[in-house]
Amino acid sequence: MSRVGKKVIAIPPKTEVSMSGYVLTVKGPLGTLTKKMKQDIEITIGASEITLVPKKITLETKALWGTYASHIMNMIKGVSTPFVKKLIVEGIGFKSEVKGKNLVLALGFSHPVNVLIPETLKVTAEKNVIIATGIDKEVVGEFMASVRALKKPEPYKGKGIRYEGEVVKRKQGKKTV
């Protein structure tokens, strides 16, 4: 049984949650999010709370129960307060800047790396810190993960792109005789 799925999800004021067919829609002050849900989980929307109950207990519905509860909580949180992720670019000559709809990175390659910014995100880059904000947690996380994957932090000098607060375990390197 899912601990997360059993909890009742509170709906804050200024937020509307509706279900049409199997599409859940959450409207809030910052925008609207929609997500298609499977019919295995029964979603009951009350005046100020949402409850989830699986229609039939199987291995798949047990897994989906908590997952859908987390998705709904993230959607409700996102339309009221945006999700923020920060990346730190470290290294000599490593730069980042936003040009129009692209994030342009100089990562020590022979060419600059252009990354297309999704329309739902607001991305800023100043002093080698890239900040992405958006209402959809999945889009923010996926975009920042793809940017970090371009140049992961290496353990010897710590050069690369890392999340704010991420600890890079450093290695000693070569010893001279």
Strands 129-134, 83-90: parallel, antiparallel or unpaired by DSSP? antiparallel
**Backbone φ and ψ of 20, nearest 5°:** -125, 115
Contact 105, 89 (CB under 8 A): yes
Tell me, what's the pLDDT at 5?
Answer: 83
The beta-strand segments (E) located in 28-145 are 32-36, 41-45, 49-54, 83-90, 95-99, 102-106, 113-116, 122-126, 129-134
Contact 53, 42 (CB under 8 A): yes
What domains can be seen in the chain, in order of their start residue? 3-80 (3.90.930.12), 83-163 (3.90.930.12)
The pTM score is: 0.89
If the chain, 177 residues long, is cut into consecutive pieces of 10 residues, what is the mean pLDDT of each piece? Answer: 84 92 93 92 91 90 91 94 95 93 94 95 94 96 96 92 92 81
